[in-house]
Amino acid sequence: MTESKYDLIIVGGGPIGLACAIEAEKKKLKYLIIEKGAIVNSIFNYPLYMTFFSTAERLEIGEIPFNCLAPKPGRQEALEYYRNIHRYFKFNINLFEKVLSVEKQNAIFKITTDKRNYEAQNVVVATGFYDIPIEMNVLGEALPKVRHYYKEAHEYAFRKVLVVGANNSSVDAALECWRKGAEVTMVIRKNEINSRVKYWVKPDIENRIAEGSIKAYFESNITEIRENEVEIETPNGKVTIENDFVLALTGYKPDLTFLEKMGIKLSDDELKIPVYNPETMETNVEGLFLAGVVCGGMQTHKWFIENSRIHANLIVDYISSN
């Protein structure tokens, strides 16, 4: 049974999905946001003490001020801000409802979720990229001690922890775990800490490595994970270390299969960038739009809140003009 018909259905209730809803309200479009988890679910799943690279005003949507005492807001402040955004706008949003398919039939989109069916003239996909970890594809990766998400350091206190990667999430986890008493080792594919690591954190991790507080194997890769140890391929040959936990914070990717099932074309190279018009954000499927980080394919560092808020204006202005 079809629940209702809409001018616009927005898949994803993150900051950019909410921004699209704000613009839809301004243009008097009948819209619905469908979000598989909590409001701004990706931010909810960030580490407890994560600090944004962006300043508060660059995370604002709907011209509602984001007041923050610290120079950079953290996860808790962001959750409070976006909850208040919902209190203010009273979005038409269904939380904890998962979109299973989006199919276009006779110029109308049929949206099927795990709860009901909908119809819409237009669909925006603003699903982010935090749902699917990029796996290492090594023996033992399925062991319970291997984690692709990190929440807080307490569980790892006084344990031998191996952190994979040298990006923001890896560096934050390594430093937090070390400060809570863990014996931390890092395995880093390149020969240095990633240049995109937050500028106030990068010297900290480099100094901890230089002084030997955190052991780092550069230009190295894990070859096998076992119950109580990990085998690492280094420039000086294989090394086996004792280990209790592996934090494989190797990045995440959008659900590209979901995009392809809708009919969206992806680039043929390893970046898998979706086809869309940058002036309208419309994909190769008429009436189907992309917003936010999902536009970058595997380039998940290209789009973030502050530089993709404009997508909402581009999409809704185009829909309303037609």
Domain count, the chain: 2
Pair (124, 150) in one structural domain = no
Q: What is the pLDDT of residue 3?
A: 62
Pair (171, 214) in one structural domain = yes
Cβ(208)–Cβ(163) below 8 Å:
no
Picking from 11-25, 123-137, 227-241, which range would have the lowest pLDDT averaged per residue? 123-137
Last residue of a domain, one of 216, 248, 280: 248
Pair (127, 266) in one structural domain = yes
**Could you give the angle at the alpha carbon of 225 between the alpha carbons of 224 and 226, nearest 5°?**
120
- Which token pair is 47? 């580490």
Cβ(11)–Cβ(123) below 8 Å:
yes
Pair (265, 118) in one structural domain = yes
Q: What is the pLDDT of residue 184?
A: 98
Phi then psi for residue 244, to 5 deg, are -110, -35
Beta strands in the chain (DSSP E): 2-11, 31-34, 93-94, 99-105, 108-113, 117-125, 132-133, 146-147, 160-164, 183-187, 215-217, 221-225, 229-234, 237-242, 245-248, 252-253, 288-290
Last residue of a domain, one of 197, 214, 248: 248
User: What CATH number should be reported for the domain holding residue 201?
Assistant: 3.50.50.60
Pair (115, 261) in one structural domain = yes
Q: What is the pLDDT of residue 1?
A: 52
pTM: 0.92
Band of pLDDT at residue 129, cut at 50, 70 and 90: confident
Three-class DSSP category at 266: strand
Mean pLDDT within 193-218: 96
Distance CA 164, CA 184 (A): 11
- Select from 161, 171, 223 the least CA-distant residue to 192: 171
Domain that holds residue 188: 135-248
Burial class (CB in 10 A: 0-12, 13-18, 19+), 112: middle
> Is it the case that residue 2 has pLDDT exceeding 80?
no
- Which token pair is 41? 């679910």
Mean pLDDT within 257-272: 94
Pair (150, 235) in one structural domain = yes
Pair (108, 66) in one structural domain = yes
Distance CA 267, CA 191 (A): 29
Pair (267, 283) in one structural domain = yes
